[in-house]
Amino acid sequence: MEKSELLDLTGIEAGDRDDVLRLLSGVPGPEVLAAMEILRERLGSFPGGYASNSGFGEFVWLEAYLRFTPELLEYWNGLNIPAEVAEATLADLGRHVDISRRVFGHFSLETFGWLSLHYAGSLFQLGRLQFHLLQHHEDAEWARPGEWLLSVHIPEGGGLSPAAVDDSMSRAVTFFAEFFPDKPVQQAECISWLLDPELTRRLPASNMARFAQRFALDRTSASPGDAVYFTFRKRGLDGLDQLPRESSLQRAVLEHLDDGGEWGLGHGHLELPQG
């Protein structure tokens, strides 16, 4: 695969291309080869979590992902995964390189662990949302042991209109029934700060609240920085007084913290529509 084609396929933005090309300019080193072997072992195994980083840094993983992309595509081609789904899914790599530059001000890939789900071949972007196919968590009260589950993720870009979410959910039901018929799914989960009940309380008419209300809330867990990170692309809770309050979401996030509150993660589930 030509490098230009690879960068297009993985959604590498113009401002990151020179740095990515430098990564790919030589032969892969032993750490990159070892990381690629980890990806190879995970491919098609439907893991529930990230790959162990084995002490490798972000640039080792980024180079490994890029060099492993043809093998991932070959696996998906063997399953007849549509090219447009593969392209939409792989574009998350470039998206996260771009996000990392915006957060830290330099070329990087902070969220390299997250991309290991894509490169296991079991996470797909279908319309507005992403869906990760995995087995049920046995410790969840609503779990159906031995059955399969879709974990729902919300990539950056675009709103959460009810129509867009309905479309993604419908696509997911059809897609996984067609391409993974031996792994039937009836339920989906979402673990996100958007499911923190405080968001619905502060912005009850928002599309984000409508999205959250699709899920039965099982519990919340502490993750105080997520709301700030996903709203402002900023790590940490220092300097909040310098952040903009231009949108209703920005104001809601910061006002809750001003009031002494803490944002957390909501863990929820829903029954998928069945064809």
CATH node for 194-267: 3.40.630.120
Contact, 61 vs 35, CB < 8 A? yes
Q: Which amino acid is at 240?
A: L
Instruction: State the pLDDT at residue 224.
Output: 85
Range list of H helices, 24-82: 30-42, 58-78
Pull the structure tokens for residue 171.
């696509």
Pull the structure tokens for residue 204.
């009850």
CA-only gyration radius of the chain, Å = 19
Pull the structure tokens for residue 85.
């789904």
Distance CA 33, CA 39 (A): 10
Q: What phi and psi, each to the nearest 5 degrees, are found at residue 151? A: -95, 125
Digitized pLDDT (tens) for each residue of the chain, 275 residues in all? 999 999 999 999 999 999 999 999 999 999 999 999 999 999 999 999 999 888 999 999 999 999 999 999 999 999 999 999 999 999 999 999 999 999 999 999 999 999 999 999 999 999 999 999 998 876 677 777 778 999 999 999 889 999 999 999 999 999 999 999 999 999 999 999 999 999 999 999 999 999 999 999 999 998 989 999 999 999 999 999 999 999 999 999 999 999 999 999 999 999 998 76
Can you say whether the dihedral through the CA atoms of 243, 244, 249, 255 is positive or negative?
positive
Q: Can you give the pTM of this predicted structure?
A: 0.95
Instruction: State the pLDDT at residue 158.
Output: 85
Instruction: State the pLDDT at residue 251.
Output: 96
Instruction: State the pLDDT at residue 146.
Output: 77
Instruction: State the pLDDT at residue 45.
Output: 96
What residues does each domain of the chain span?
1-121, 194-267
Instruction: State the pLDDT at residue 145.
Output: 72
Sheet order of strands, 185-192 included: 123-126, 129-135, 148-153, 185-192, 264-271, 216-222
Which run of H or E residues covers position 17? helix 14-23
Distance CA 98, CA 12 (A): 8
Q: Which amino acid is at 127?
A: G
The DSSP-derived string for 182-203 is TS-EEEEEEEEGGGSHHHHHHS
Distances (CA, A) of 165 to 56, 75, 157, 198: 36, 28, 13, 21
Distance CA 266, CA 142 (A): 15
β-partners of residue 134 are 149
Instruction: State the pLDDT at residue 137.
Output: 74
Q: How many CB atoms lie within 10 A of CB 56?
A: 18
Pull the structure tokens for residue 172.
């997911």
Instruction: State the pLDDT at residue 127.
Output: 97
Contact, 188 vs 151, CB < 8 A? yes
